[in-house]
Structure 1
Amino acid sequence: MDRLSHFVLFVCALALAGSAAAQSDSWEPVIDLRYRLELVDDDRFSEDATASTLRARLGVVSPEFSGWRFGLVGHANRHVGSEDFNSTANGRTDYPVVADPDDEHLSQAWIGYRANERFEARIGRQRLIEDNVRFLGNVGFRQLEQTFDAITLGWQPAEDWQVDLRWLDKAHRVFGPSNPNPLLAEAELNAWMGTLTRDFGPVKSALYAHRIAFDDRPASHRNLGLRLTGDLPGDQGFGYRVEFARQDGIRELDAVSGQNYIHLRLQQKLERWHWFAGHERLGGDGNYAFQMPLATLHAHNGWTDQFLTTPTDGLFDTYAAAGTTLGQWTGLVKLHDFRSDRDSRSYGREFGLMIKRPLVAGLSAEVKAARFNGDSSNGHPDVTKVWFTLNGNW
């Protein structure tokens, strides 16, 4: 049976599961369809990329039975029309990368238990999203989702305290399980991630520690960090974020020098407008830089994805954005200035624009574009990306 037939059977089976679940209010169906057209003009390539893809995410989450419940979700992606892009799996390396390969996968299969609204445990393949996804996320922007084979525990010992502990065995990456490069298909892990959260009135603090050991690549490290978030006094709608973390190599990277991470952000939310501005520093000394390999990186350091791996000289990202809501329309403009941590050399600047609105029930449309004006003298060419997306959630 060919891959197309497998794809059709896969989607049909999940659709039947979702349909059956939808017949009962006690079951939660997962029905998520997304079409995207992505255009890429990258000065490193003579050809431009055009990627037209359709993603289906279908499944079901059970009701609770004496504290127990389970979830089963699959996703699949297929290109529509021509394949003028490098999906990382199709061998079309003359084109820029659009990391949305044709593939299908059981993305979630977990069993969970909850007791007294204060304790929750989950084991199996699951979506993990922590805070602002800077260290751990599902890479939800791409068509295939990143999920993890993991055990997660959450405990609320008191009203203002929260303890979260995660052990990760494997990461199923957005490049698809059938990717010819096994390091892109998945990551073999022995990772521990813990977070202790405490509210002090308007200030929310989080102390986190990670030991992320890779069994299949030289990327093992540990992080220790503290973040403070909250609202400033007054009725002006100001909020802030202050975060510091230290990363040191372990095991095969035990000899590398440790690096620091700093994030400072100020934001304001008004009736129709909001804005935010901040500065991120990912330290680098020319040999090693602060890395975040399990994060949703598209949400940070620019939409053109020029810094998915932190350069060895590190990264300074100074950014500002403003957004508005006018009726059913939502818009956002975002600017970045990128420099190296070591020697403060310019990498380039990025300008991004996003507009979206709901359509009929469950359907929405989004147009997004970003232009990276790279500093070619430091090896960063110009890149332009445009996305048109239709989302359906029911």
Structure 2
Amino acid sequence: MRPLALLSLVATPAAAQTVTPLAEARLRYEQVDQDGLPRNADALTTRVRAGVAIAEGRWSALAEAQGNLAMVGDYFDGLHPYATRPLVADPQSIGLYRAQIQYKAPGVTLTAGRQRIALDDERFVGAAAIRNNGQTFDAVRAELVPTRGLKVDVTYARAVHTIWGIDGTGVRPGVIDGDNVFANLGYTTPLGTLTGFAYLVDQDAAAVQNYRLSSQTYGVRFAGTRTLGQARLSYQASWARQSDWHRNPNDYAAGYWLADAAIDLAGPRLGAGYEVFGASDGRALTSFQTPLATAFKFNGWAEKFTPKPADGLRDLYASAGWGWKTLGRAKGVSVQAIWHRFESDRLTRHYGNELDLLTQATLGRTTASIRYADYRADRFATSTRKMWLQLDWTI
């Protein structure tokens, strides 16, 4: 399809076209009690996204706006000085969230524009969905399946739109330019998917750690699931090596590895894992870093380890919970507890422990959740307790 024809598709939908409205809303109360600060943070926010997606044949286009409003703003949002209260990284913002064109055919998906990208488990590149101003990329992405079981996924991103929104500035900019390349080569086997990856991150902004978050990371990941009677076992392992790239003034190299397993016993759920972010020589930002990850998903919900400490991080964790497909009128009901023990990688010392708790359920189009995080500091950061009450609605 020619470009003019595609513009006509977006502007004047015809009968053969599919028009899908996009709408979602979130209401959240987040409370933070952090040692060393005289006041708690109290954030009552509402996030709304709305847009439209239009598809015809193999072509589609979408545009989606996003707005975040603080109805109770007694918190430090990361941008406006509020030194007496803890950080809640949800500044008020309004703007364009996504605007993309996509071509999809058997074995080929091409996407261009401002888009949401979540690779694998989002450990290296993610959408930061927990934050009201989600992370997106101005990028061109190609997903190719040349043969059964083999997938090539390559992205060039020229800009990252961060969680700090339209007012982001200084060390927390709303947009970070750079020549970012994300490449995955995955092969699916009966036991799981083996993926080789390369992530070239170019944080081309002097205010963002003086370019010290620019890095090149190469690694491999294996993840799969097995059915054992009524039980379901999931497992993953990953290894990577990272070093400085582009304008990063640091000369460093650091390793990463992960081993993780979980079992769902058709109700009870148990899991455990060990994740290591290696350190180079103890200078700031010479340990393994993941600036484009969905950080909240990993290393504790209190988010004490973004960026990773100069001496690296070792995270030993275990989880237990219970899930119900339906419970009365509710679906996807679950409760979960996760315990973390954090240590440094270099000059091994205990950083602290954390307990995270979650319960959630879906009723119709609305998902309700309650979270709690309790970080008990030993030799890193300060003890912090966080609580979230959240409602998510999707059309």
Q: How does 1:87-106 map to 2 (within 5 A)?
A: 87-106=77-96
Q: How does 1:12-31 map to 2 (within 5 A)?
A: 26-31=18-23
For 1:36, the aligned partner's letter is R
Aligned to 1:316: 314
Aligned to 2:34: 42
Q: How does 1:158-237 map to 2 (within 5 A)?
A: 158-181=147-170, 183-217=172-206, 218=211, 219-231=213-225, 234-235=228-229, 236-237=231-232
Q: 1:73 aligns with which of 64, 73, 88?
A: 64
For 1:383, the aligned partner's letter is T
The alignment-based identity, stated in percent, is: 27
Q: How many residues get paired?
A: 368
Decide whether the 8 Å contact of 2:352 with 2:380 is kept in 1. Answer: no
Alignment deviations for residues 218-253 of structure 1 (CA, whole Å, 9 cap, x no partner): 121101010111235854422211100000112333
For 2:353, the aligned partner's letter is R
Deviation at 1:138, TM superposition (A): 0.8
Aligned to 2:8: none
Alignment deviations for residues 65-86 of structure 1 (CA, whole Å, 9 cap, x no partner): 23111010111001113x2100
Q: How does 1:210-289 map to 2 (within 5 A)?
A: 210-217=199-206, 218=211, 219-231=213-225, 234-235=228-229, 236-253=231-248, 255-285=250-280, 286-287=282-283, 288-289=286-287
Aligned to 2:133: 144
For 2:91, the aligned partner's letter is P
- Specify the SS of the correspondent of 2:173: helix
Asked whether 1:157 is paired with 2:160, we answer: no
Decide whether the 8 Å contact of 1:183 with 1:216 is kept in 2. Answer: no
Aligned to 1:351: 355
Structure richer in strand, relative to its length: 2
- Specify the SS of the correspondent of 2:196: strand
Decide whether the 8 Å contact of 1:248 with 1:254 is kept in 2. Answer: no
RMSD: 1.9
Determine the C-alpha separation between the residues in 2 that align with 1:237 and 1:85. 42
The alpha-carbon distance between structure 1 residues 233 and 54, as it changes in their structure 2 partners (threshold 3 A), is: closer
- Specify the SS of the correspondent of 2:201: strand
- Specify the SS of the correspondent of 1:149: strand
Q: 1:86 aligns with which of 67, 76, 82?
A: 76
Asked whether 1:114 is paired with 2:141, we answer: no
Q: Mind listing any 5+ residue stretches in structure 2 that lack a counterpart?
A: 1-11
For 1:118, the aligned partner's letter is G
TM-score, normalised via structure 1 length: 0.89
Decide whether the 8 Å contact of 1:123 with 1:151 is kept in 2. Answer: yes
Deviation at 1:46, TM superposition (A): 1.0
For 1:213, the aligned partner's letter is D
Determine the C-alpha separation between the residues in 2 that align with 1:248 and 1:315. 17
Determine the C-alpha separation between the residues in 2 that align with 1:183 and 1:303. 20
Decide whether the 8 Å contact of 2:269 with 2:323 is kept in 1. Answer: no
The alpha-carbon distance between structure 1 residues 352 and 182, as it changes in their structure 2 partners (threshold 3 A), is: closer
TM-score, normalised via structure 2 length: 0.89
Asked whether 1:300 is paired with 2:311, we answer: no
For 1:227, the aligned partner's letter is R
